[in-house]
Amino acid sequence: MDALFGPISKSNCGVETLGVGPTSTCLCRIASAYTLAMPRPNTYEHLLSINTGFELVRKGLGALNRGNMFDRKELARFEAWSEETRSSINSYLLGVVEAAETDLAGRLYRRRLARERNDDSDGA
User: pTM of the prediction?
Assistant: 0.59
Pairing of strands 8-10, 25-26: unpaired
Distance CA 104, CA 29 (A): 13
Distance CA 95, CA 75 (A): 30
Q: At 26, is the pLDDT very low, low, confident or very high (cuts 50, 70, 90)?
A: low
Distance CA 108, CA 111 (A): 5
Q: Which long-range contacts (CB under 8 A, 24 or more apart) does 51-58 make?
A: 51/86, 51/90, 54/82, 54/83, 54/85, 54/86, 57/82, 58/82, 58/83
Cβ-based burial of 110 (10 A; exposed 0-12, middle 13-18, buried ≥19): exposed
Distance CA 35, CA 27 (A): 12
| pLDDT value for 120 | 86
**Alpha helices, DSSP H, located in the chain:** 2-5, 27-37, 42-65, 72-123
Distance CA 39, CA 102 (A): 11
Task: Give pLDDT tens digits for 51-92.
Answer: 999 999 999 999 999 989 999 999 999 999 999 999 999 999
